[in-house]
A and B are shown apart, each in its own frame.
Chain A
Amino acid sequence: MKTARDMGLVTCTGCASVWPDGTDRCGRCGATLRSRHDNSLQLVWAFWATGLLFYIPANLYPMLVTSTIVGTQSSTIVGGAVEIAKHGEIGIAAIVLFASVVIPVAKFIAIAHLAISVRRGSIQSLHGRQHLYEVVEFVGRWSMIDVFVVAILSALVQLSVIASIQPGPAALTFALSVIFTMLSARSFDTRLIWDSLSTRNEDPA
Chain B
Amino acid sequence: MTNHPDPSTLIGCPSCDAVYLARMPAPGERAVCERCGTVLISTRENAGLHILALSVAVLILVIAASFFPFLSINAAGMANRVSLWDVATSFRSGVLVLVSVSTVLLIVLVPLIRTALLVYVIGPIELGRPPLRHARDAFRIAQELKPWAMTEVFSIGCAVALVKVSSLAHLEFGAAFWMFTALSVIVIVADRYLCSWSIWRALEEADNA
Which residues of A approach B to under 8 Å, CB–CB? 1-5, 7, 9, 11-20, 28-31, 66, 68, 80, 83-84, 87, 89, 92, 95-96, 126-127, 130, 137, 140-142, 144-160, 162-163, 165-169, 171-172, 175, 182, 186, 190-191, 193-195
Contact = CB atoms under 8 A, between A and B. Distances in A.
A92 B99 contact: no
Which 6 residue pairs of A and B lie closest in terms of their CB atoms, listed nearest first? A11-B12, A148-B157, A194-B16, A151-B103, A3-B17, A18-B10
Contacts of B57: none
Given A144-B153, A149-B164, A154-B96, A28 B136 contact: yes
Contacts of A165: 165
Nearest to B90: A155
Among the interface residues A16, A175, A193, which one has the most CB atoms of the partner chain B within 10 A?
A16
Contact of B12 (A17, A126, A141): A17
B1 interface: yes
Interface of B: 1, 7-8, 10-19, 34-38, 40, 70-71, 73, 75-76, 78-82, 86-87, 90, 92-93, 95-96, 98-100, 102-103, 106-107, 136-137, 139-140, 143, 147-148, 150, 153-154, 156-161, 163-169, 171, 196-197, 200, 203-204
A170 B182 CA distance: 31
A203 B15 CA distance: 23
Contacts, number: 215
A151 B76 CA distance: 23
Contacts of A147: 99, 102-103
A167 B12 contact: no
B17 A140 contact: no
B153 A186 contact: no
Contacts of B171: 156
Contacts of A4: 12, 17, 19
Given A2-B19, A18-B7, A163-B168, 10 more contacts: A1-B18, A12-B12, A18-B10, A151-B96, A152-B70, A165-B165, A191-B15, A191-B16, A191-B17, A194-B15
Contacts of B159: 92
A149 B160 contact: yes
B158 A152 contact: yes
21 contacts: A1-B35, A2-B1, A3-B17, A3-B19, A15-B140, A15-B196, A16-B13, A16-B14, A17-B10, A20-B7, A29-B140, A30-B136, A84-B163, A146-B157, A148-B103, A148-B107, A152-B87, A154-B92, A159-B78, A163-B75, A163-B169
Given A29-B140, A68-B168, A182-B147, A145 B156 contact: yes
Nearest to B140: A29
A37 B176 CA distance: 42
A163 B71 CA distance: 16
Given A157-B73, A167-B96, A15 B18 contact: no
A16 B70 CA distance: 40
A137 B82 CA distance: 32
A3 to B, nearest CB: 4
A165 B99 CA distance: 14
A15 B200 contact: yes
Contacts of B14: 11-14, 16
Given A130-B15, A194-B17, A145 B163 contact: no
A147 B204 CA distance: 41
B80 A28 contact: no
A9 B10 contact: yes
Contacts of B81: 156
A141 B150 contact: yes
A141 B99 contact: no
B18 A2 contact: yes
Contact of B204 (A7, A12, A28, A159): A28
